[in-house]
Amino acid sequence: MSALVGTTVHRKFGDIWHSGTVSLDDGWYRVTYEDGDADDLSAVELQQLVDGAYIDATISYYAGAKDGGWCEGVIQEPYKRSRHGVVWIPVDQTDKTWSGDRCFQVDFADGHCPIDLRSCRRVSDTTDAPVGSWYPLEDPGKRD
């Protein structure tokens, strides 16, 4: 993650994209945005931002043919078992493991559920994507 120090990352707040520069500050990764606002992030949170899995990000998640195919959703908040219950794993998903620090409550058109958005499940090509794959609909890594 230290390779990201000095790089520019992008995050959408509301309908507006903001660019920010990554620095280290007392053990935290600080992202200072062009408007002067800043976020202090852990290594996990910074990776989530780089991956496109952060609060208010719009994603597409592949639930599998039996569960509706590709579904669009908006990430609401980090997963907390006491608040969100059991992490949803699609019927067809072969890898039934999940990572609590990579799970988020996601609102979909037909409801909401906590799902695993690990970076290893992120895809750029949806052809033959395995069940449980996801990608950001507005990719912060591809902003100007």
Q: Which two tokens stand for residue 136?
A: 């950001």
Integer Cα distance of 120 and 5 in angstroms: 22
Work out the percent of the chain whose per-residue pLDDT is above 70: 95
DSSP string, 57-105: -EEEEE--GGGTSEEEEEEEEE--HHHH-SPP--TT-S-----GGGEEE
Task: Quote the pLDDT of residue 44.
Answer: 86
> Residue 42 CA to chain centroid, in angstroms?
14
Query: Which residues of the chain have a pLDDT value below 70?
Result: 1, 139-144
Task: Quote the pLDDT of residue 143.
Answer: 44
Model pLDDT for residues 85-118, shown as the tens digit of each residue: 999 999 889 989 988 888 999 999 989 999 999 9
Q: Output DSSP code: residue 39.
A: E
Report all structural domains of the chain as residue ranges with CATH numbers, in order of start.
Answer: 2-51 (2.30.30), 58-138 (no CATH)
Task: Quote the pLDDT of residue 1.
Answer: 59
The whole-chain average pLDDT of the chain stands at: 88
Is the CB of residue 132 less than 8 Å from the CB of residue 90?
yes
Task: Quote the pLDDT of residue 26.
Answer: 84
